[in-house]
Amino acid sequence: MVKKTKSGFKKNTDSVSNAFSRSGMSMQEVESKLVDHGIQPSLQRIKLAQYLLGKADHPTAEQIYTWAQKELGKISLATVYNTLSTFIECGLIQEFKFPHLDQVIYDCRMDHHFHFVDTKSQRLHDVDSGSLRVQLKLPKKFLVEKFDIVFKGVIED
Amino acid sequence: MVKKTKSGFKKNTDSVSNAFSRSGMSMQEVESKLVDHGIQPSLQRIKLAQYLLGKADHPTAEQIYTWAQKELGKISLATVYNTLSTFIECGLIQEFKFPHLDQVIYDCRMDHHFHFVDTKSQRLHDVDSGSLRVQLKLPKKFLVEKFDIVFKGVIED
DNA sequence: TTTTACTTTTAGAATGATTCTAATATTTTA
DNA sequence: TAAAATATTAGAATCATTCTAAAAGTAAAA
Ligand SMILES: [Mn+2]
Ligand SMILES: [Mn+2]
Ligand SMILES: [Zn+2]
Ligand SMILES: [Zn+2]
């Protein structure tokens, strides 16, 4: 269970506290963000959030795990999945499942948006929902509430 | 390997030959269709094709297996998967993967079309590609080759 | 017809992403 | 400090699908 806490909550983050200073948010910024979302900022959660929010681009659990192992030396795969579930539950990230991939991808963008799959690099690019218009003619008894759309193609040059 | 054959190829289909006379194609029609696609019409393949082409509606492998067990008494799950692969390879059916389902669904419609998921019944409805228009504004280096789209909603009444 | 080659079916093992379990470690609260 | 709550962990379990290797069926060759 993730619970809000009042007091400071100091952990032994010293050994890795500046590993990420060059990109994304600092440890302190990430920690604040976690607390804002009602998540207790353990070392593992801070590091994973730092990766997810600042450095990664639509990573899979496997990529997150691999990065975290390099960064923390030792972390359980179960912790990665537990933490991802917690982050999703608390609205810090969202997950996407795509027909072309048998792994879930995690996304720090929380707005409604879509994706373009570069079939050369297999990399995902965000597509703002404003850049898309969909017109659909169906019998009126079909009440569309949402849709998922994934574009596939290549990127020139 | 699926190979075309010239000669007649009679099998012991007598015990089940009229189980499907009331809906979809007859055994003979299905058999012709298989042969047309270069598929040797074994009993298992005929029955599975009869289900897929005439009776089923976007079934999963599990549903196909369950139906086939009732129909044939005994069939291996491996045969179901092997046969589905063969049918896909030969252009008799296509498969779809959806983000909301952890199982593949098989579709006898071979034209380009989309799907509407009724969130009440979880049933899929076909959406003709002509009933949809998508306008996308992306930087010109993104060359879109195709897109997958799935609509979710409910059906009134 | 017998032999041989090929194809199909099969049971069960393997795979791989994710979830679960149940024990241990850490942190908070009393 | 003691007790309660929460977080992390290793490894087992799950489940759709694929793989393996043997048995069964069918066709073509001899
Ligand atoms: Mn990946
Ligand atoms: Mn189903
Ligand atoms: Zn995204
Ligand atoms: Zn369809």
Q: Which of A82, A76, A109 is nearest to A95 (CA)?
A: A109
Model pLDDT, residue A14: 32
Tokens describing residue A156: 């020139």
Model pLDDT, residue A9: 36
Pairwise pLDDT comparison (A33 vs A19), residue with the higher score: A33
C-beta of residue B7 within 8 angstroms of C-beta of residue B22:
no
B65 C-beta less than 7 Å away from strand C: no
Q: Is the pLDDT reported for residue A25 higher than 50? A: yes
Q: What span, in angstroms and rounded, lies between the C-alpha atoms of A36 and A30? A: 10
Cα nearest neighbour of A146 on chain B: B152
Where do the structural domains in chain B lie, given as residue ranges?
2-97, 112-153
Contacts of B151 in chain A (CB under 8 A): 136, 142, 144, 146-147
Which bound ligand lies closest to the C-alpha atom of A61?
Answer: 1
What's chain B's average pLDDT?
Answer: 88
Model pLDDT, residue B16: 31
Q: What value does the mean pLDDT take over residues A79-101?
A: 97
Range list of H helices, chain B: 27-36, 43-50, 61-72, 77-89
A2 C-beta less than 7 Å away from strand D: yes
Q: What span, in angstroms and rounded, lies between the C-alpha atoms of B125 and B7? A: 40
Model pLDDT, residue B3: 57
Q: Is the pLDDT reported for residue A44 higher than 50? A: yes
Model pLDDT, residue A23: 66
pLDDT digits (tens, 9 = 90+) for B108-148: 999 999 999 999 999 999 999 999 999 999 999 999 999 99
The pair phi, psi for residue B100, each rounded to 5°, is: -90, -5
Q: What value does the mean pLDDT take over residues A125-149?
A: 97
pLDDT digits (tens, 9 = 90+) for A5-22: 443 333 433 323 233 333
The verdict on a CB contact (< 8 Å) between B138 and A127 is yes
Q: What span, in angstroms and rounded, lies between the C-alpha atoms of A48 and B103? A: 30
The pair phi, psi for residue A31, each rounded to 5°, is: -55, -45
| CATH code for residues A2-97 | 1.10.10.10
Q: DSSP code of B152?
A: E
Model pLDDT, residue A1: 60
Model pLDDT, residue B23: 66
- Intervals of chain B under pLDDT 70: 1-23
Within 7 A of a protein CB, which nucleotides of strand D? Answer: 5-11, 15-20, 25-28
Q: Is the pLDDT reported for residue A118 higher than 80? A: yes
